[in-house]
Amino acid sequence: MALWSGRFEEGVSEFTQRFGASLPVDKKMYEEDIAGSRAHAKMLAAQGIISKEDQEKIDAGLAGIKKDIEEGNFDFDINDEDIHMAIERVLTQRIGSAGARLHTGRSRNDQTITDARLCAKEMAKGLMKANLTLRKSLLDVAKAHPDVIMPGYTHMQHAQPVLFAHHMLAYYWMFTRDFARLHAAYDSADANPLGSAALAGTSYPLDRQMTAKLMGFSRVIPNSMDAVSDHDFQLDLQYACSVSMIHLSRLAEEIVLWSTSEFGYITLSDSYSTGSSIMPQKKNPDFAELMRGKTGRVVGDLMGLLMVMKGLPLAYDKDMQEDKEGTFDACHTLHDCMICMSGMISTMTIHPDAMANSAQKGYMAATDVADYLAKKGLPFRKAHEIVGHLVLECEKRGCQLSDLSLEDFKAESPLFEEDITKALDIPSCVKARTTEGGTAPSAVADQMKKAQAQFDADSAQLA
């Protein structure tokens, strides 16, 4: 019989019992549920609502249950709707009426959301830790290859040469923003709903500040109806996961491209590659592809919860039970993807020659040649047009800008002199982009210092 069966003459069918249950998903929150119940009981005793003896029995009983669950000795029942009922049922079986007093002044509505908030905080912390692991790999690979030049792309066409380190640091900053979003999601979850009961608060003199303190919440949710129905913290967390997955997916896509024969910029280590069951030569970037694919799942989880919440009237609605599966999935998926990407990045081999050779193609010095003319007084628009003609000439001849003679250049503009070779030199093009945040080695060295400082500051937040 369910713990709420008093006003019922018949039990639910086996099918609806299974259909309505959340136990298979919310089992995962057993630790949070026990922590919440221990805090609640302690507060009930402090307020004189239950006796000290009952509270001690409850506390010891819950500690025993925690141990049993951890050791696989807890007897989950098909009739347990959720983790809250499973634990309360077994507690009451074990300690009798003290166990039956635990739920005084509490509803599963505030209980379940309390557990979900505690869980979200833990998951956000775990994700922030994995985020730092990934960022460390990106910093290390950038530091290890400070001079490697590669083509920079726009529209996937050769645009301007950049440092490989600059390219890696661009991802580093994306994941740095993800850290801030995860941190914000942590803060969003960090508020105590317990004591709101079903929706309206209770007539017992509960001390919500006390339970907040005992459970490590930094504040109390000021409105009991909002408290039992607010799932923004899970949306915030899932949004942070989704954006981070999108960043991972973009990086994964580049890794897939760079490991093709066409690019050949990198070789993934064997431990982050797979073979083919039919083609003996194959070395596939499966795990990069998988991360790209898993992004769909995580964004789907976010969309799912947004749709669950859309149009729900206050206060608690059973629809809300759908909140946890996607949140767990999104967090778990992002976590493992960050660990996977970190390992992939730190074990891959970089091929600087392939990158440098590729950077010689595609007229990537064209902007610098136009700048050369503009710096000699020609309006930039005019300079752009002249270099456009030179590129067209190269296309016709099937050569690069650096293959043209000084006469070829002079035929387009008398401003060209011997020193045009410097503007055509790819490493010089990179070196020249000294703007703050630019790709020149000097600017990238400055950027690296900022990246390291941000890394240290974020690490300190987790310590």
Using CB under 6 A as the criterion, which residues of the chain lie in contact with ligand ARG when the complex forms? 22, 26, 81-82, 108-109, 112, 316, 318, 320-321
Number of residues that make up the chain: 463
State the nearest-atom distance from the C-beta of 28 to ligand ARG, in Å: 12
Catalytic residue among 13, 97, 155, 261: 155
- Closest listed residue to residue 198, CA positions, set 295, 65, 94, 103: 103
Q: Cβ closer to ligand ARG: 112 or 447?
A: 112
In angstroms, the CA 357 to CA 352 distance is 8
Element (H, E) at 349: strand 349-350
Alpha-helix runs per DSSP H in 365-462: 366-375, 380-397, 406-412, 420-424, 426-432, 441-462
Beta carbons within 8 Å of 121's beta carbon, 6+ residues apart:
186, 189, 190, 216
Total Cβ atoms within 10 A of residue 236: 20
Extract the tokens encoding 394: 């190269």
State the nearest-atom distance from the C-beta of 129 to ligand ARG, in Å: 27
State the nearest-atom distance from the C-beta of 86 to ligand ARG, in Å: 11
Catalytic residue among 51, 276, 389, 442: 276
* Rounded (10°) CA dihedral 300, 305, 306, 312: 150
Q: Three-class SS of residue 205?
A: coil
The reply to whether 155 belongs to the active site is: yes
Beta carbons within 8 Å of 437's beta carbon, 6+ residues apart:
443, 447
* Residue 136 buriedness (CB in 10 A; 0-12 / 13-18 / 19+): middle
Per-residue DSSP letter, 322: G
Q: Would you name the residues annotated as active-site residues?
A: 155, 276
